[in-house]
Structure 1
C-alpha cells in the first residue's frame, strides 16, 4: 500500500509540475489580483482507521476525527492558482477497539478483550494534537470564482499534547490520561481532492501511534489512516 501511495504522489507531483508550466504560458494574457489567496481556513471530519492491527484486534463503532486550522496560502505563479500552504491546527482523534488500557503501580498495561471474561459497551482511546500541515496546492479558481476544482497534497506533523483512554464494561469504568506509551510526534502524508465546498481528504500515517506498547509479547505497531471530508474557507 505504501508503494501505491508513493507512486500516486509522484504522478500528482508530475501533473502539478506540468500544470505550472502551462500556467506560465498563460501569464502574459492574465491580469492577476495580487492580493488573491485561497483556502486558508479548514475544517475536516474523518473516519479513523487503525492499520497494521494485531491478530484478533478489531475496531468497533465509528472512530471519528475532528480537525480545524489555518493554512497560509502562498501563491508561486502570476495567475496565483498554484501555491504552497503552511499552517497550524488542532485535531481530536478517537479510536474504538478491543484493546483495554489499564494502569497498575505506574505501569500501563495493554490487554486484548476477547469477550469471555471481560466485556465492554464502550472502549476507546483518544489523542489531541497540535498540527502543522504543509501543502502543494493547485486549483482552477480565480479571484471572482467561488466554485472550482482543487488538489492539495503534502504532509502533516502533529504533537500529541494530551491523550486518554476510557473503558465501560463489566469491570466498571476505567479512565486513563497522559499515557506514556503514546508517540508524542505523529506525521504522515495528506491528500485532498474536490470541487467547491466539500472535498475528499485522506491522511496516511507514517509512524506508530504507540511506543513500547505490547499485547503479551507482540508489539503494538498501529498507525492511523484517516478518511473523510474537508471544507475550506477563505
Structure 2
C-alpha cells in the first residue's frame, strides 16, 4: 500500500512540474525594435515678424502662421541618436502691416497707410508647399519615445497662393496672384525641446518679394517666425 501511495504522489508531482514547464515555455517573449525610426507628423504654430523692412513699414496686430507635414527619419549612427530627415508639408502665413498692395493694369502698386487713415484690416497671406531637410540629434532609445531633441535644417518652399487685403473706410481691396512675390523661398530653422512640444524658429534666407519697390526703395523683407512645433509618432 505504501508503494502504491508513494507512486501516486510521485506521478502527481511530476504532472505539476511538467505543467509549470509547459506554461513557462508557452509564455511569449516581448521583442524590442533596435532598428526604430522617428518618422513623425509635425504641426507648428508661429508668430510671424518681418526683418529688413523698407523705411516706414511697421507691423501691427498679431501675425500668425501654421505648418503641418510628415518627416521620414534616416538614422546614421549605431545608437540611432543622430539622423537625417526629409519630408513634405504645407505652410500658411499671415503678415499684418501697413503696406497697401493695390492692383493696376501695369501690375501691383505699393504705398503706406497714412497715420490718420481708419481701417479694419491690412495684410498679405501666403500658402506654400514645403520640403524640409534636417539634421537631427536626440537622446532617444528603442525603449522610450520621450527624449530631448535638437533638429535643424533648411526648408524649401514653393508659393501656391497669395492674397493681399486692405479693408478700410473706402472699401475693400484684394489682390491675388501677385507676380512680385518670390515663388521659390527657402530658409533655415531649428526646433528644440522634450517629448511632443518643442520651441521652433525659422529665418528666411531669401526675400518674400522678388521685384517690388516703394518710394524708390526695394522691398527686401525676409520672414522671421517663432513658435511651437508638435511632433507625433
List alignment gaps of at least 5 residues for structure 2: 1-30
Deviation at 1:81, TM superposition (A): 1.4
Q: Is residue 205–residue 224 contact of structure 1 (8 Å, CA) maintained in 2?
A: yes
1:68 aligns with 2:55: no
1:208 aligned to 2:207? yes
Q: Which residue of 2 aligns with 1:42?
A: 42
- TM-score for the superposition, normalised by structure 2: 0.84
Whether contact under 8 Å (1:39, 1:232) holds in the other structure is no
User: What is the aligned residue count?
Assistant: 203
Matched residue SS, 2:151: strand
Q: TM-score, normalised by structure 1?
A: 0.83
**Alignment partners' CA distance in 2, 1:86 and 1:32:** 25
1:140-179 pair list within 5 angstroms:
140-179=139-178
Q: Measure the CA separation in 2 of the matches of 1:126 and 1:133.
A: 21
Determine helix, strand or coil for the equivalent of 1:115.
coil
1:52 aligns with 2:52: yes
C-alpha displacement at 1:52, in angstroms? 0.8
Q: 1:73 to 1:103 in 2, by over 3 A?
A: same
Please state how far the C-alpha of 1:104 moved relative to its aligned partner: 1.3
Pairwise CA distance, 1:200: 0.6
Q: Does the CA-based 8 Å contact 1:39-1:73 persist in structure 2?
A: yes
Q: CA RMSD in A?
A: 1.5
Q: Determine the C-alpha separation between the residues in 2 that align with 1:156 and 1:97.
A: 25
Structure 1 residue 145 displacement after superposition: 1.2
2:54–2:219 Cα contact (<8 Å) kept: yes
Consecutive aligned runs of 4 or more in structure 1 exceeding 3 Å deviation:
none
Q: Is the 8 A contact 1:113 1:119 kept in 2?
A: no
Larger radius of gyration: 2
Matched with 2:181 is 182
Contact preservation (8 Å) 1:32, 1:78: no
Q: How does 1:1-234 map to 2 (within 5 A)?
A: 33-116=33-116, 118-234=117-233
Could you tell me whether the CA contact under 8 Å between 2:42 and 2:232 is conserved in 1? yes
Whole-angstrom CA distance in 2 between matches of 1:170 and 1:111:
17
